Structure 1
Amino acid sequence: MMVAKRIDLAAVALLVLLVILPNLVWWYRAGWVEAGQAGLLPAILIVFFLLALVPRFWVAACVLLPFLILSPLESLYIGAYGRPSTQHVAAILAETSYSEVANFLSGKLLSVLLGLCVSMAASILVIRRLYLSKLCFPLRIRALILVGGASAFVMVGGAEAWYGQFDIARANVMGSGDTFLERRSSPAAEVFQDSYPIGVPLRLRKFFAERQIMRDLEAKLASFHFGAAQQPSRQAREVYVLVIGETGRPDRWELNGYSRPTNPELRGEPDVVSFRNMTTPWAWTSMSVPAILTRKPAGDGRFFFPEKSLITAFREAGFRTYWLSTQSPLGEHDSSIALHAHEADVVRFLNPADYKASGLHDGVLLSAMSDVLARNEPKQLIVLHTLGGHFNYADRYPREFERFTPAMGSGIAVNFSRKDKLVMNNAYDNSVLYTDHVLAGAIKQLQQADLMASLLYIADHGEVLYDGDCSENGHGYNTVFDFRTASIWWASPKYKEAFPDFLNAARSRRDAPLATYNVFYSMLDLAGIRIPDFDSSKSLFNSQWRAYPRPTQAGVDFDDSIEDGACRTLKPRPR
């Protein structure tokens, strides 16, 4: 009898272990403060709540069966990327073809299959044993667990309802009724969302809600047309590449006079033109990237502008269009961008992890771009959306690019405070070095293809890096570092031969007051695409270009402001 009792208890222990395994892996990777409290404690609460909710443990085990089987997959994901999966993973799977999934699993397939087989066998054995034993909690313990669990859920639900009022208020502040703001979760709800298994249905719910929003927005724009055409149509094969960078400070580029060798490869390209005075009106990716892709006015506070992007203009003009990204296909920071990404003929989100984890580096975009060029289509637009220098900076480059040391990610404990300024700055410079490598790699592909081509790179916004005596790090502080962005342009020999005036114009505007709103018209101008109300004065390659005011999200004109304090915050000039 005693042996049977021990086997029964071992079956319960194995059940709990299988369910909370992903949280244990996360705890091992990230430590108790981040993973233990956020993942492990809610997981244990959920398991014991389910065991107490039904009369017999085996019924709860049947309810948990899908999570028992998926547990090894989530554990492998956390082991690879250091964080639990999110709705990003569901979106990636929805966007990804079978061949891409197979490619991602290459080298991991044996581990995945082995883990699934072990978890299925263990789950069946556990359920069978619990069914035969008819184990359940004593009535008093069961009541305590149910009351405690229900109280926790009520507290989380109340916090969620209270927190949601801030979203409504913020949406009202942001502008008109068609402003979109994702329904954020409260900090309490985020605890459950990161935990396994309860987080899985929460993430799926979030994914389906965000996808429906995207579909509604796409339906609203379905009838929009630019009436674009290439004038005149060109006979040679032509490819235009737009690289949207992330968190790119121009003063950290060697091309712009930085003392460190952060651009060793681009420095060797004589026809690369760096625009040293480019700015963005927004220091948030969700607002700044649409300002690059569309005709959205700089001061427009809507998350979604009721027009399509330059991608649709290229499609109307007969181009095959591609969106290749290492960022996310959905989410608070990404939905306003993904709306335009899906205007492309081919959309590929290549990174299985979001920006919160290390994931894959931007170099994967080069392989995808090579595949596109190999299609030999006569007219192509390729948009590469990179992670660039997005925090955590050390996650943005392979270790062989850790040239500036000591840096984050080298086994150094970092508290992300001012005392870590050196290692954070070194890591950021290493991310610039890797961006240099990726851009040079894209240029080399275009050179080897020997076609009429150009590449325009522009970062979405800058970054504060504890500059001088500034006590801030990140972006969104309305400083001069937030709004200055890195940008370069390169053209192939065939393109320069056909359009020498464009190269001369670009060189003459290295230090001109440019802004991200120039990109829409400049990209169309490069390809000779015209729309009925094309504004030549906003194309930096056009002889009719002229300088315009450069407003920022703080309501301050970048060129008519003063820099205040240690962080050089932009403020209106006194009158």
Structure 2
Amino acid sequence: MTFALLIIAIALVPFSANYASFFREYKHVRYYSAPLFPVYSAGKYIAKANAKPHPTEDQMEVVAADAKVVHPDKKHDLIVLIVGETGRWDHFGLNGYERDTNPRLSKRKGVISFTQMTSCGTSTAVSVPCMFSSDPRSDFNGDSIYYKLNALDTLKKNNVAVLWRDNNSSSKGVAERVDYQSFRSSDINTVCDPECRDTGMLVGLDDYVEQHPDQDVVVVLHALGSHGPEYYKRYPAAFEKFKPVCKSNQLASCSHEEIVNAYDNTMLFNDFFIDKSIAWLENYSSDYHTALFYVADHGESLGENDVYLHGMPFAFAPESQKHVGAIAWMNEGSEYKYEDVVKNKDVPFSQDNFYCSVLSLLDVETSICGHEQSVFYPHTEQDQ
């Protein structure tokens, strides 16, 4: 059976562009084309029918029960966390990419790119809940997001105001117990042309800050980023710098150059979005400790070895799907000094470090987070 599956996989490799794009766009066909799908569906239905309802918040497993906020001064924190989409590390100009895909961030003071960040999974559904979980990738169970409190819950319990704005497919269970707003529709997102842009999530944020004057504030922006296969739709026309571009959802109909050009244009717009988020934070830097932390959920294959998109099993996935972009910015008055944090830029980190890094930005101390688990504390060779 294993040998047969291997033969099928090898046979499909030359057509992976067709299959990857087609099944990504027409997900329902996966179900009709699979001979065992009726059996799978029956099993899934029975499991769902007999599944216990998700526990209420007071029934969930408490994580970091000893967590407490320890402020070095009375100034509150205002933090933006950007959960990026499909950001492979080697297409960031900040990381030495031959193309300048970060023309704005490369000129901005206080920006640090962590060059060795590894994802928890190769899909949004796995990586996003894993990032906010206290469990490392090796122990992470996808269902645990509904049974164990996550980083945002810990912040909320410590009187931090938390807002999740989503221009992607949802929070994947992470933001069930905090303030949540979907920005996928022009009914709420004022920047749509017609696709609703990530920059629209910045509109109206001032109101949220004003509503919580005596609290630390965390804003999570779940971006649509570079989601494929229709990369050409992920940016406004003004950002189409690299040409010609693939303007199809069938990647097999495009050249490698066209696919890469379209993807790199999404990176240009991502640079603009992150820079604009920093500019918004700068307006508050005299009254708050401000910082931004961007981490992409997973990477992307752009046709290397005839592999496209993402979602391969982690153990077999190419580096391009697991090695992701990660960027931090801190204002000059931040509790974490640029000259200290920048020393960590080439330290091997993973999304396992995200949980404790977020807590450290908010001055939340807990016994489950040592200083070496945060990307913002000094790291020694022993930590690595």
TM-score category, normalised to shorter length? 0.7 to 0.9
1:261 alignment partner in structure 2: 100
Unaligned runs of 5+ in 2: 1-24, 187-192
* CA shift in 2, pair 1:287/1:415, >3 Å: closer
What does residue 295 of structure 1 align with? 134
Which of 40, 51, 74 pairs up with 1:166? 40
The change in CA–CA distance for 1:219 and 1:481 in structure 2 (over 3 A counts) is same
Q: Deviation at 1:527?
A: 1.7
The code of the aligned residue for 1:517 comes to D
1:569 corresponds to: none
Letter of the aligned partner of 1:400 in structure 2?
Answer: A
Report the alpha carbon displacement of residue 214 of structure 1 after superposing the two structures with TM.
Answer: 11
Match of 2:262 in 1: 427
Query: Match for residue 299 of structure 2?
Result: 462
Q: Determine if the alignment matches structure 1 residue 452 to structure 2 residue 326.
A: no
The DSSP-based 3-state class of the residue aligned with 1:462 is coil
Aligned: 1:309 with 2:150 = yes
Give the one of 199, 207, 218 matched to 1:363. 199
Q: Which residue of 1 aligns with 2:175?
A: 341
Contact kept in structure 1, 2:130 and 2:142, CA below 8 Å: no
- Match in the other structure for 2:231: 393
SS at match of 2:262: helix
Q: What displacement does 1:270 show?
A: 2.0
Amino acid at match of 1:394: Y
Q: Distance in 1 between matches of 2:169 and 2:55?
A: 18
Q: Indicate conservation of the 8 Å contact 2:129/2:172, yes or no.
A: no
For residues 238-253 of structure 1, the aligned pairs below 5 Å read: 238-253=77-92
- 2: distance between equivalents of 1:215 and 1:348? 24
220 and 465 in structure 1: CA distance in 2 versus 1, 3 angstrom threshold: farther
Q: TM-score, normalised by structure 1?
A: 0.54
Aligned to 1:109: none
Q: How many angstroms does 1:282 deviate by?
A: 1.1
How far apart are residue 389 of structure 1 and its match?
A: 0.6
Whichever of the two has the greater Rg, that structure is 1
CA distance in 1: counterparts of 2:138 and 2:92, whole angstroms: 28
Matched length: 339
Change (3 A) 1:518 1:460: same
| Candidates 324, 329, 350, aligned match of 1:490 | 329
Aligned CA distance change for structure 1 residues 263 and 219 (closer, same or farther; 3 Å): same
Of residues 327, 334, 338, the one that matches 2:168 is 327
Counterparts of 1:375 and 1:406, CA distance in 2: 46
Distance 1:214 1:364 in 2: 38
Q: Specify the alignment match of 2:359 in structure 1.
A: 524
Q: Contact 2:301 / 2:320 at 8 angstroms: preserved in 1? A: yes
Could you tell me the TM-score, scaled by structure 2's length? 0.78
Secondary structure of 2:203's aligned partner: helix
Of residues 178, 184, 191 in structure 2, which corresponds to 1:351? Answer: 184
Q: How does 1:212-231 map to 2 (within 5 A)?
A: 216=54, 218=56, 222=60, 224=62, 226-227=64-65, 228-231=67-70
Percent identity of paired positions between Structure 1 and Structure 2 = 23
Query: How many Å separate the matches in 2 of 1:352 and 1:395?
Result: 15
Corresponding residue number in structure 1 for 2:209:
373
Pairs within 5 Å for 1:56-135: none
Give the residue type in structure 2 aligned to 1:327: N
2:373 aligned residue? 538
1:248-280 deviation digits (Å, cap 9, x = unpaired): 011111111112121111111121000111111
Structure 1 position 283, deviation (Å)? 0.5
Q: How far apart, in 2, do the equivalents of 1:270 and 1:548 lie? A: 27
Once the two structures are TM-superposed, the CA of residue 374 in structure 1 deviates from its matched residue by 4.2
Q: Distance in 2 between matches of 1:241 and 1:547?
A: 30
For 1:280 and 1:181, locate their aligned partners in 2 and report how far apart those are by CA, in whole Å.
Answer: 33
Q: Report deviation, 1:386.
A: 0.6
Give the partner amino acid of 1:402: E
How far apart, in 2, do the equivalents of 1:417 and 1:302 lie? 35
Q: Partners in 1 of 2:323 and 2:306 — Cα distance?
A: 19
- The one-letter code matched in structure 1 to 2:264 is D
Equivalent of 1:438, from 251, 265, 273?
273
What is the alpha-carbon distance in structure 1 between the residues aligned to residue 53 and residue 112 of structure 2?
39
Alignment-mate amino acid for residue 291 of structure 1: C
For 2:245, the aligned partner's letter is A
Supply the distance in 1 between the matched residues of 2:150 and 2:381 (Cα, whole angstroms).
Answer: 22
1:31-50 alignment runs, 5 A limit: none
Contact 1:462 1:475 in 2 (8 A): yes
Shift of 1:225: 5.3
3-state SS, counterpart of residue 306 of structure 2: coil
Secondary structure of 2:293's partner? Answer: strand
Could you tell me which amino acid in structure 2 is paired with residue 485 of structure 1? V
Give the whole-Å Cα distance in 1 for the aligned partners of 2:311 and 2:204.
32
Whether the aligned pair in 1 keeps the contact of 2:341 and 2:378 (CA below 8 Å) is: no
Greater share of strand: 2
Amino acid at match of 2:172: A
Q: What SS does the aligned partner of 2:102 have?
A: coil
Deviation at 1:387, TM superposition (A): 0.9
User: How far is 1:400 from its partner?
Assistant: 1.4
Q: Displacement of 1:548 after TM fit?
A: 7.5
2:131–2:355 Cα contact (<8 Å) kept: yes
Deviation (angstroms), 1:219: 5.3
Computed over aligned residues only, the root mean square deviation of the Cα atoms, in angstroms, reads 3.4
User: In structure 1, what is the equivalent of residue 244 of structure 2?
Assistant: 406
User: What is the SS of the residue equivalent to 2:329?
Assistant: strand
Indicate which of 344, 347, 351 corresponds to 1:509.
Answer: 344
SS at match of 1:403: coil
Partners of 2:114 and 2:327 within 8 A in 1: yes
**Paired AA for residue 365 in structure 1:** M
Shift of 1:406: 1.3
Find out whether 1:479 has 2:318 as its counterpart.
Answer: yes
